[in-house]
Structure 1
């Protein structure tokens, strides 16, 4: 997985979360992320290579994260938004081959995650699990363990993940431009994916909803393994699990400079 440091969802950064550019189900608490040059890789759960006298801590689901799902992204360029939507749609199990065409008249957009839930393992619980005792052991014979023990390879452990199965998209045109969002293309894309539903919320909003909760953000801590055992080196900020190439950071624009798209059915 490559890294993209664009600040697409600044409301996530503001509350300490890192962004998953390709939302998926297989990101879990206690997963180990390593940084190799300019990319980040998820190696899987630390419990696969670490034996401890403590039982493996289990995540607690704190229910709906209202403070996250009530917010939406800032107004972003359509080129940046489409790259994000490609990853989100892929995670939901479908693709929109003509996505650029559907948004050809759109200049800006916002994205909002709905039905957001939080899964957490408290840092103190992780610390107790990492504590070295006579019976604890790291599988240093594992080739990937040898790799991440390199001093030049930062290591992160995931403590918290946020998940969603639904997104709402608001599209905006330049106030001087006429046109519409092609809802037909967006609706037809899910016909081959029975696990995803589509709803036209209003003349300017559309919502996709899937059956599975996909991880789109996480919190992590940078850790290190020393002669005396594990150590915590601080919060992991700016760790963006993603696919694709680097993108420019979208500039801030004033909402009044744009108007919402009038969606016209083209079916």
Structure 2
């Protein structure tokens, strides 16, 4: 399925990020994702790219929980209720809650999302370059042969955006707010996810979990040029993780030519 290009996707692209269409945990800097023949899988971490060596350098340090104020309060476009509820269900599931909130949104025509209390984890690309300086690629690893030295592309995640809070607003067919009952939602999804309304009877509801979910990322394109390992910037918006679950499993090209990880 192709990606729905909405205002939040465009905003993240403007800031230099790719989008995770269904926010989830389990995405972090220094992870490697390999793409081959339109399919992909999570391969491992940066240290597994180079051959085993007792003198190997320390992995670059990940700077955790950096503030990302520019992304706070950014709102998506009004998505169709069907798509919005799929995303909301994935968010609630990733937070550890139970599914089944659809009945509260049965009169919704569109649903929009907003990021809150955004932070990010990052690693300095220069430190990655230092780590890989004079590194010997583990060419005996058959997987690495395929993705780096043969047919395939390899991406290295360098920065992520994450949040524990997602504000959700529903509208009916006439553009009016759809009121939802927070106590009923809370009872349905369980205690691992806290649900709050802006005001009583409001359609604007905030879902908050205990574990931050990643919704944006930056990455480098890893390759071999003239026999030498190369790292190149990946254009913002050119790679998009789209399916649910804690780990990406496959990639297809959609009609916009974006990588759709799912």
TM-score (norm 2): 0.79
- The structure 2 residue matched to 1:87, chosen from 85, 90, 104, is 90
Residue pairs, 1:113-192, within 5 angstroms: 113-131=115-133, 133=134, 136-175=135-174, 180-181=179-180, 183=182, 185-191=184-190
On the 8 A contact 1:118/1:163 being kept in 2, the answer is yes
1:166 and 1:61 map into 2 onto residues whose CA distance is 18
Shift of 1:161: 0.7
Cα RMSD of the aligned pairs, angstroms, is 2.9
Shift of 1:247: 9.3
Q: After alignment, is 3-12 or 87-96 more displaced?
A: 3-12
- The count of aligned residue pairs is 241
- Matched with 1:109 is 111
1:103 and 1:150 map into 2 onto residues whose CA distance is 50
Is residue 100 of structure 2 the alignment partner of residue 97 of structure 1? yes
2:151 and 2:219 map into 1 onto residues whose CA distance is 19
- Matched with 1:20 is 20
Shift of 1:235: 1.2
TM-score (norm 1): 0.78
Shift of 1:150: 5.0
- Matched with 1:196 is 193
Is residue 53 of structure 2 the alignment partner of residue 55 of structure 1? no
- Matched with 1:219 is 218
Deviations, residues 190-213 of structure 1 (Å, cap 9, x unaligned): 22xx33211112212111111111
Q: After alignment, is 27-36 or 143-152 more displaced?
A: 143-152
Shift of 1:178: 9.2
On the 8 A contact 1:108/1:172 being kept in 2, the answer is yes
On the 8 A contact 2:100/2:189 being kept in 1, the answer is no
Structure 1 residue matching 2:41: 3-state secondary structure: strand
On the 8 A contact 1:96/1:186 being kept in 2, the answer is no
Shift of 1:186: 2.5
Shift of 1:182: 5.2
